[in-house]
Amino acid sequence: MIEDWDDYRFFLSIAEHGTLKSAAAALKVNLSTVLRRINNFEQKMGARLFDRSQDGFALTPAGNIMKEHAMTMQQSVIELTRKVKDIDHQHGGVIKLATTDSLFPNWLGPLIREFRQLHSNIYFEFLVSPRNLDLVKHEADIAISVGNFRPDYMIGRKLMDVHYRFYGLASLYAEKVPIEDIEQLQSLTIMQMNADFAHQPFNKWHKTHLPSNAAFDSADRFTVMHQMIRQGLGVGLLPHYLGDDDADLLALFTLPEKANKELWMLTHPDLRNVARIRKLMEFVRKKITNQSPNINTIV
């Protein structure tokens, strides 16, 4: 019998993150609360679930068995919560939308404004996170993000190809265009995205084709890079949906197609028939289809 589901939530958070600090941050409680809860849970179970060390918490054999069953229980709780919420909010309610800050100003924000004018009973919780939120765990209802794949357990649509270009402030670089080769680009003051983007195709291209011994200004977000370019600090890479719509910027050089990524809109199959989710996904699909003929649809 489950006396307190929170015991299992705390257990799973430590099992997932491996340290009290990370688990506490994920649960939005303090370290002492997490430690007290897990100690009490072990006493209640009559078993040691974790080995403690300076490196963190590692599951014992008993802990591994507990984790397997607790994850099944967690999925049941998530599915039950979804079904109950769907009964109460068939046509209205809140959509938890995971996205990136670079998409919102010029692209997603105007779409949401227009959608809200049509559906005033649907509200949004916008979630911007450095990690991909887990749609299976209901951390978000819909994700609109940049990537190059669609997980098999998700449904959704590819909205567009994302091109990456070097932009400069038009008032400073108007005489520099057109830039036809990399040598011309190398002569400019180039800024780059930081090491967090090292695995991205556009950053690999940047590292391969621009001098490795150069001193670069860098940023960890495209919205920051956008402002650095607007301040005239140099030339920087932006996704086309952020740079092309800024009349003060000038596109100087477009990276080859192999550096492109894709913009996807995804949700969990359990939510495909929830009215508010379906309404938003259909609205975005129609808007994007009207803007671009190259839309791939997966339902």
Pairing of strands 93-99, 122-128: parallel
The whole-number pLDDT of residue 291 equals 61
Q: 107 φ, ψ to 5°? A: -115, -65
d(CA 143, CA 131): 12
pLDDT at 289 over 60: yes
Domain end call among 86, 111, 142: 86
**Does 72 share its domain with 21?**
yes
The whole-number pLDDT of residue 295 equals 39
**Does 97 share its domain with 18?**
no
Pairing of strands 296-298, 155-162: antiparallel
Q: For all residues of the chain together, what is the average pLDDT?
A: 85
Question: What pTM was estimated for this model as a whole?
Answer: 0.65
Cβ(99)–Cβ(108) below 8 Å:
yes
**Does 280 share its domain with 133?**
yes
**Does 156 share its domain with 276?**
yes
Cα–Cα separations (whole angstroms), residue 86 to 51, 59, 190, 267, 278: 41, 36, 50, 15, 12
- Whichever domain contains 115, its CATH number is 3.40.190.10
User: What is the extent of the structural domain holding 9?
Assistant: 5-86
d(CA 59, CA 44): 17
- Per DSSP, the three-state class of 122 is strand
**Does 142 share its domain with 267?**
yes
d(CA 104, CA 223): 10
Domain end call among 86, 115, 140: 86
pLDDT in tens, 31-82: 999 999 999 999 999 999 999 998 899 999 999 999 998 888 888 888 777 7
**Does 10 share its domain with 31?**
yes
The whole-number pLDDT of residue 13 equals 92
The whole-number pLDDT of residue 132 equals 63
Cα–Cα separations (whole angstroms), residue 273 to 76, 87, 158: 19, 12, 19
pLDDT at 258 over 70: yes
Where helices occur in the chain by DSSP H, the ranges are 5-17, 20-27, 31-45, 61-88, 109-118, 170-173, 182-186, 201-209, 222-230, 240-243, 275-291
